[in-house]
Structure 1
Amino acid sequence: MTAAAFTFTPDADFVDRALDAELRRDSESVDRKLRTMLAALDDSLAGISDAREELHTLYTAPGTDTAGDVSAHDQDIATH
């Protein structure tokens, strides 16, 4: 038995231009929404990072950062 391979190349004359335009609009709309969501996540991550640094500042006495304390600084506050 042999398997026949078929390929399909749409002819430009038969492309539904209205459907193509609608799909492009939908795709652009989704891209905009995803970019907005990504920006919000980036802002949230920056806020979390700032809050962690502030908490580390509050819980670390000034002048006690030694080589041994650096690894502790990178751990979550909850583990201390």
Structure 2
Amino acid sequence: MQGPNGSGPHDGVLASGTFSPADVTCPKVVVNQDEDMPLLDAIRAGLTYVNVHTNDGVVPINTGPGDFPNGEIRGQIDHPDKKLGG
């Protein structure tokens, strides 16, 4: 995850990491009522996205940045092999 640069040195990286099959809570993705596929195949097919849920802990909810439990920002997950034609 990349982020804005404030004052001082910053390389833009806010968070990074990897996951293994043991870390996956949903090993298969339902494509439609007749088909499901392994998560990594769904990522490679462009069928997945990340949704960041936030809550500032102050009532009421959904009052502004940092307070969207249904998702504040989301983005498509892209597999680098697609860019290489692999």
Q: In which range does the TM-score fall when normalised by the shorter chain?
A: under 0.3
Higher RCO (Cα < 8 Å, 6 or more apart): 1
Rg comparison, structure with higher value: 1
Greater helix fraction, Structure 1 or Structure 2: 1
Q: What is the TM-score normalised by the length of structure 1?
A: 0.20
Q: What is the TM-score normalised by the length of structure 2?
A: 0.19
